[in-house]
Structure 1
Amino acid sequence: MTAFVLVPGPFTGGWVWEEVAALLREAGAEAYPVTLPGLGERRDETGAGADLETHVEYLARLVDGIDAPEVVLVGHGYGLFPVFGAADRRAGRVARIVSIDTALPENGAAWVDSAPDPEVRARLAEAARSGEDIA
């Protein structure tokens, strides 16, 4: 049996995966649609303290708790960044990484660099510098 961990981007939550999760479960797989700490409905859990490290560790612990022999991590947008980090930490447990509508980042690239629109990249970069809440 395969377990799919479904990781959304920063402006949504695990709820965006519910239809996909239902289809995966109907097909006999396990599905774990997640909302990363500090984002979406979990926004108030960590305050400003949530960062990439928080998200990588959260996913790594989630993988540790899955009994299925094959784990597939699926990332959309920013979600791909913690997926890569968790897969690196749990290389023996993660069978595949799936990128949904997200360019593969180059080593050392920031998430904002992956936004295709230059105006969006500039807005995200400015928000990150100023600490502005853009969600």
Structure 2
Amino acid sequence: MAASSLRTTRRAALGAFAAVGALTAGGARLQAQTAPKTFVLVHGTWHGGWCWRRVADLLASKGHKVYAPSLTGVADRSHLLTRDVNLTTHANDIANLIKWEDLTDVVLVGHSSAGFVITQAAELIGPQVASIVYLDAFVPDVGDSLISLANPGPRKALEEAVARGDLAAKPVPAAAFNVNEKDRAWVDAKCTPHPLAVVVDKVTATGSREKIARKTYIRATGFKSPVFDETLARMKTKPTWKTFEVASGHDVMVDHPDRLAEILLEVA
């Protein structure tokens, strides 16, 4: 074989190897980007697992595993409402789900008051959580309770309910959370009273949240809340936290499920 032909053949072979290598590397990157994730979505006060249906369907359609349980005493588990249902109960709801389903590398998401639940649950299942997300939620510290951090209006209503000795707090109309008009009647029909013991219980978690590698705060800018505005500002100063803002009412999973799913996949 002539020398020139040999060189051409070698160049072609090297080019083929390079192309295969590029395809393999690209395939590895694509596989890494699309590798299935596990999401545990935790609802806030008065809601239930039902509120996550749109987001859960979007994530599941992309091949991800999604759990959206209702906490004890509300929604499809409202028949379990007693005075003994407290913050520990709800934290155990989530911790035991993760434990008995043998879940690892979990993306744990808490909406609104579920910031208390996921913070407390992280004390029990922190090593299994790869990413923790606070969706327009409270980010409590030791000694905080929902009733102590709530905005003035809801706080007054909760304090009055406690003073009366009520078993549960009555739902607030969806319009108060600026839920889109089309879905307000549906949300109002689904909401159920929330156990008051959960509202007054204080967080005892001592720092497992901060040990989780990926931490995210998402603010729904269409819902007026000085508490959440202050929380967003605080999280923006922390280099270990990512922050996002969505032009939405408080129930982002109802108003903008597509955008929320995008963010959750980005921080997973």
Both proteins in one fold, TM over 0.5: yes
1:125 aligned partner: 159
Instruction: Give me the whole-angstrom Cα distance separating, in 1, the residues matched to 2:59 and 2:149.
Output: 28
2:65 aligned partner: 30
When you count helix as a share of all residues, which structure comes out higher? 2
Q: What do you get for the CA RMSD once the two structures are aligned?
A: 1.6
**Which one has the largest radius of gyration?**
2
Whether 1:3 and 2:38 are equivalent positions in the alignment is yes
Cα displacement (A) at 1:10: 2.0
Distance 1:129 1:72, change over 3 A: farther
Cα displacement (A) at 1:67: 4.0
Alignment equivalent of 2:79, drawn from 44, 49, 52: 44
SS at match of 1:123: helix
Unaligned runs of 5+ in 2: 1-35, 171-192, 194-268
Answer 1 or 2: higher relative contact order, Cα 8 Å, separation at least 6: 1
Matches within 5 A, 1:63-74: 63-74=98-109
Unaligned runs of 5+ in 1: none
Kindly provide the amino acid, as one letter, of the partner of residue 95 in structure 1. Answer: A
Structure 1 segments of 4+ aligned residues over 4 angstroms from their partners: none
Instruction: Give me the whole-angstrom Cα distance separating, in 1, the residues matched to 2:100 and 2:38.
Output: 11
Cα displacement (A) at 1:39: 1.5
Cα displacement (A) at 1:95: 0.9
Instruction: Give me the whole-angstrom Cα distance separating, in 1, the residues matched to 2:140 and 2:155.
Output: 14
Q: Percentage identity across aligned positions?
A: 35
SS at match of 1:98: strand
Kindly provide the amino acid, as one letter, of the partner of residue 83 in structure 2. Answer: A
Cα displacement (A) at 1:68: 4.6
Q: Is the 8 A contact 1:2 1:69 kept in 2?
A: no
> Normalising by the residue count of structure 1, what TM-score does the alignment of the two structures yield?
0.89
2:114 aligned partner: 79
